[in-house]
Amino acid sequence: MTADNPSILLVEDNIAHVDLIRRVLEDNNLSNHLTVCKNLADARQVITARPPGLVITDLNLPDGKGIDLIEFSAGNSAYPVILMTSFGDENIAVQAIKLGALDYLVKSPEAFTSLPQTISRVMREWRHIEAKLNAQAALLQKDQEQEEILNSMLEAVITIDQDGLVLSFNSAAESLFGFTRKEIIGNNLHQLMPQQTATAHNDYIDRYLATGQAEVMGYSREVEAQHKDLSIFPIRLSVAELSPAANGKRRFIGSCQDLTLLKQQQEQLRRIQKMDALGKLTGGIAHDYNNILAIVLGYAEQIEHDKHQPDKVAIYSHHISIAAERGAKLAKKLMVFSRHKKPDISVMDINTLLREQEQMLQQTLTANITLRLELEQNLWPVELDQSDLVDAIINLSINAKFATKPGGSLTIRSKNRTLNNLDILHLDLKPGDYVLLSVTDTGHGMDPATIENIFDPFYSTKGESGTGLGLSQVYGFVERSHGIIRVDSEPGKGSCFALYFPRSLRSIPPPQNPVKTPKKPTQGNETILVVDDEPDMLKLGHKILTAQGYQVFTARDGQQALSILQQEKIDLVISDVIMPSMNGYQLAQQIHKNYPQTKVQMVSGFADAHYVDTIDDSLHQKILQKPFNSNILLTRVRSLLDE
């Protein structure tokens, strides 16, 4: 059987017409695959068993209408139908054509004679229809396969058009964003973004459509996404362009990876790494503090020895004050280093930070290793978290310390670099301006296998003395800062870590010069209660305040303070935060509840929000950090009492 000589099913109850049609078909070599049925029931059985290539059917049959065979083809393989009748009826002809019949013949000698030509024409038309049906079926199958593939993917995949309307939304996207396909398809992508991200997305698409610059196409970046419940969470978004849709609109596909768990793990590693680095700093810090204490104790002895010579006592006291300020600054840096906080991005000058941290870095390296700073003048500004950069430099310095023998050196350089298309061939960066920060040691170096793994978490070359977290955190910080880190090292030739950070086009804010205000009176006659578990701090506070005319009570803990408050009218309570049994915030709660007219000032040597369990957050915001000089304390006291 071929398309020109199809298998034919003739459904006709008139024997004379069957004979006539058979002869015509035989004369034209079309009767080789002819099957004849006298009613609809038999025809349906034949079609079900083996669908024919062509059906020629009378309209009126003993058990129904031949037109029913057109509808019957819907449940079987499709076939062309020629409908015949002895009585022409225009309405039936229209109905037959609408249902899918390819021709409608009124029985006549001429119609029977021309039947071979009619069959040939119908089969040509059918080939075109069949090709179209096959194409539609293939397209449907392709769409179904694509949908199955998308739904089987673990990452959320979304396609949109150039107007931001969602075209597809796979199962992983439903799980990630909380929307169903029906809720999101046809709507704008903005439903999945907070306002700031949506604005940035619009700007990018508009710029890409206008210029064709594929600066982000295929490029992964971290953005914030929005769940159906309006909660915000981080994702890694990768975008690429698809072929245009049938209507000519450009289409884009984006894959979204949920970074929530990864961010939590990174933050945990970051905190562990901070503690690890802080532990390694202990030796250098102890050395620095011992020097400070030696100065304090030494000059204190000199004061005792020369106590009757006021001029010498004043000089000794000045040196003690300077040493104490050094200790206070060092303690502040350590608390900033160990504190858990969110990234605080600011425009900064790396050179300024390196000069400020030079002393601590040298203490980290110890006197056995020489620290050199080679800083380019007029270095471009960058936008970084200053604390994270300090952590990174300290980690690289600690690694250099372990790798370098006594007498070696560590050189930290800063440079302005403009990278062109040739420069970036070996760097995963875009052309443009960058600040290069390099840390180079004269240590034992690394082989290629070690370099391949040094940024992996928990990979360490120090054995049990290392955690393997330092360099992984440095890598994470550089990546968060939209920069890159590269390593150049060979065994026996030291190592160089090169950190590239994009140049910021914003200016570094000028330093805030303290505004000189007239010195305010600090005397008074109000009643003040000082609460601290350190006896010497109680004595010092009592001496400073009574010298200004205040009536002062002291308490070594919260319970003793509450007993005094029951007996005396107290205008102001100055309380330490960290105390046994009852901390300062818990004491403040009791005071606010039972003595609302009494004001409270918190002081602490370590202001950790862990101790804040009061409804009045202003206490924590206005805390006075130890150590402080007497003028700061007296000014704050007078200000509170005058409110």
The answer to whether position 2 is within a domain reads no
User: Tokens 């994702």 — which residue?
Assistant: 235
Write down the pLDDT at residue 465.
44
Task: Give the domain CATH number at 354.
Answer: 3.30.565.10
Integer angstrom CA distances of residue 410 from 282, 344, 361, 373, 376: 20, 28, 10, 9, 17
The answer to whether position 328 is within a domain reads yes
The answer to whether position 13 is within a domain reads yes
> Which of 293, 308, 340 is a domain's end point?
340
Contacts of 536 (CB under 8 A, 6+ apart): none
Query: 578: exposed, middle or buried (C-beta count within 10 Å: 0-12, 13-18, 19+)?
Result: middle
165 secondary structure, DSSP code: B
Structure tokens at 41: 């029931």
- For residue 111, give the nearest of 80, 85, 79, 81 by alpha carbon: 85
Q: Are 497 and 365 within one domain?
A: yes
Q: Are 229 and 245 within one domain?
A: yes
- For residue 441, give the nearest of 409, 487, 398 by alpha carbon: 409
Task: Give the domain CATH number at 29.
Answer: 3.40.50.2300
Over the stretch 341-367, which tens digit does the pLDDT of each residue have? 456 788 999 999 999 888 878 877 877
Average pLDDT, the chain: 80
Write down the pLDDT at residue 203.
77
107-116, 589-598, 616-625 — which is least confidently predicted? 616-625
Q: Are 399 and 487 within one domain?
A: yes
Share of the chain above pLDDT 90, in %: 21
Q: Are 410 and 450 within one domain?
A: yes
341 versus 242: which is more confidently predicted?
A: 242
Structure tokens at 208: 């890409």
Please state, in angstroms and rounded to a whole number, the distance separating the CA atoms of residues 226 and 176. 10
Write down the pLDDT at residue 79.
82
Amino acid identity for residue 62 in this structure: P
Q: Are 350 and 494 within one domain?
A: yes
Write down the pLDDT at residue 415.
95
The answer to whether position 158 is within a domain reads yes
User: Does residue 190 carry a pLDDT above 60?
Assistant: yes
175-189, 239-253, 317-331, 527-541 — which is least confidently predicted? 317-331
User: Tokens 């880190």 — which residue?
Assistant: 485
Contacts of 421 (CB under 8 A, 6+ apart): 431
Please state, in angstroms and rounded to a whole number, the distance separating the CA atoms of residues 54 and 122. 9
Three-class SS state of 534: coil
Q: Are 184 and 225 within one domain?
A: yes
Write down the pLDDT at residue 106.
81
Of the spans 380-394, 404-418, 474-488, which averages the highest pLDDT?
Answer: 404-418
20-29, 137-146, 150-159, 395-404 — which is least confidently predicted? 137-146
**Beta strands of 400-541 (E only): which ranges?**
409-419, 432-441, 484-489, 495-502, 527-531
Q: Are 316 and 463 within one domain?
A: no
Q: Contact 396/358 with Cβ under 8 angstroms?
A: no
Write down the pLDDT at residue 84.
86
Query: 310: exposed, middle or buried (C-beta count within 10 Å: 0-12, 13-18, 19+)?
Result: exposed
Average pLDDT over residues 76-84: 78
Average pLDDT over residues 558-564: 93
Range of the domain at 77: 8-134
Please state, in angstroms and rounded to a whole number, the distance separating the CA atoms of residues 12 and 14. 6
Write down the pLDDT at residue 302.
83
Q: Are 331 and 354 within one domain?
A: no
Q: Are 356 and 493 within one domain?
A: yes
User: Does residue 91 carry a pLDDT above 80?
Assistant: no
Write the secondary structure of 122-140 as one string of H (helix), E (strand) and C (coil).
HHHHHHHHHHHHHHHHHHH
Secondary structure element (H or E) that encloses residue 327, with its range = helix 310-338
User: Does residue 420 carry a pLDDT above 90?
Assistant: no
Write down the pLDDT at residue 313.
84
> Which of 340, 366, 392 is a domain's end point?
340
Share of the chain above pLDDT 70, in %: 79
The answer to whether position 516 is within a domain reads no
Contacts of 394 (CB under 8 A, 6+ apart): 277, 281, 337, 357, 360, 361, 364
Q: How confident is the model at residue 590 (pLDDT cuts 50, 70, 90)?
A: very high
Over the stretch 164-173, which tens digit does the pLDDT of each residue have? 898 888 888 8
Average pLDDT over residues 592-596: 92
- Kindly report the length of the chain: 643
Structure tokens at 397: 């310095």
User: Does residue 277 carry a pLDDT above 70?
Assistant: no
Q: Are 571 and 630 within one domain?
A: yes
Of the spans 239-248, 251-260, 298-307, 493-502, which averages the highest pLDDT?
Answer: 493-502
Please state, in angstroms and rounded to a whole number, the distance separating the CA atoms of residues 266 and 476. 8
Please state, in angstroms and rounded to a whole number, the distance separating the CA atoms of residues 223 and 202. 14
Q: Which strands make up the sheet holding 166-169, listed edge to edge? A: 166-169, 156-161, 251-258, 232-242, 220-226
Q: Contact 531/561 with Cβ under 8 angstroms?
A: yes
Q: Are 239 and 290 within one domain?
A: no
Average pLDDT over residues 82-97: 73
Please state, in angstroms and rounded to a whole number, the distance separating the CA atoms of residues 29 and 578. 108
Write down the pLDDT at residue 219.
54
Q: How confident is the model at residue 151 (pLDDT cuts 50, 70, 90)?
A: low
Average pLDDT over residues 189-214: 78
Write down the pLDDT at residue 544.
87
Over the stretch 457-501, which tens digit does the pLDDT of each residue have? 544 555 444 444 457 778 878 888 889 899 999 998 999 999 999
User: Does residue 98 carry a pLDDT above 80?
Assistant: no
Average pLDDT over residues 638-642: 90
465 versus 528: which is more confidently predicted?
A: 528
**Beta strands of 202-245 (E only): which ranges?**
220-226, 232-242
Region for residue 490 given its phi and psi (left: phi exceeds 0; alpha: psi -120 to 50; beta: otherwise):
beta
Write down the pLDDT at residue 340.
45
Integer angstrom CA distances of residue 306 from 297, 298, 299, 616: 14, 12, 10, 49
Please state, in angstroms and rounded to a whole number, the distance separating the CA atoms of residues 518 and 536. 31
User: Does residue 601 carry a pLDDT above 70?
Assistant: yes
Please state, in angstroms and rounded to a whole number, the distance separating the CA atoms of residues 538 and 209. 70
Q: Are 22 and 74 within one domain?
A: yes
- For residue 499, give the nearest of 591, 403, 415 by alpha carbon: 415
Q: How confident is the model at residue 97 (pLDDT cuts 50, 70, 90)?
A: confident
Q: How confident is the model at residue 556 (pLDDT cuts 50, 70, 90)?
A: very high
Write down the pLDDT at residue 464.
45
Could you tell me the pTM of the whole model? 0.40
272 versus 7: which is more confidently predicted?
A: 7
Write down the pLDDT at residue 359.
81
Number of independent structural domains in the chain:
5
The answer to whether position 3 is within a domain reads no
The answer to whether position 292 is within a domain reads yes
User: Does residue 519 carry a pLDDT above 80?
Assistant: no
Write the secondary structure of 75-96 as one string of H (helix), E (strand) and C (coil).
HCCCCCEEEEECCCCHHHHHHH
Task: Give the domain CATH number at 194.
Answer: 3.30.450.20
Please state, in angstroms and rounded to a whole number, the distance separating the CA atoms of residues 57 and 35. 12
Write down the pLDDT at residue 626.
78
Average pLDDT over residues 89-102: 70
Q: How confident is the model at residue 378 (pLDDT cuts 50, 70, 90)?
A: very high
Alpha carbons within 13 angstroms on the beta-carbon side of residue 518 total 2
CA end-to-end span of the chain: 106
Please state, in angstroms and rounded to a whole number, the distance separating the CA atoms of residues 118 and 108. 14
User: Does residue 144 carry a pLDDT above 80?
Assistant: no
Number of H helices, E strands in the chain: 20, 24
- For residue 89, give the nearest of 122, 69, 60 by alpha carbon: 60
Average pLDDT over residues 617-641: 83
Write down the pLDDT at residue 495.
92
Write down the pLDDT at residue 337.
53
The answer to whether position 515 is within a domain reads no
Strand partners, 58: 84
Write down the pLDDT at residue 577.
87
Structure tokens at 11: 């459904």
602 secondary structure, DSSP code: E
Please state, in angstroms and rounded to a whole number, the distance separating the CA atoms of residues 238 and 257. 9
User: Tokens 């020489």 — which residue?
Assistant: 370
* C-alpha 182: how far from chain center: 26
556 secondary structure, DSSP code: S
Q: How confident is the model at residue 434 (pLDDT cuts 50, 70, 90)?
A: very high
> Which of 312, 340, 368 is a domain's end point?
340
Sign of the C-alpha dihedral computed for residues 35, 39, 41 and 47 taken in this order: positive
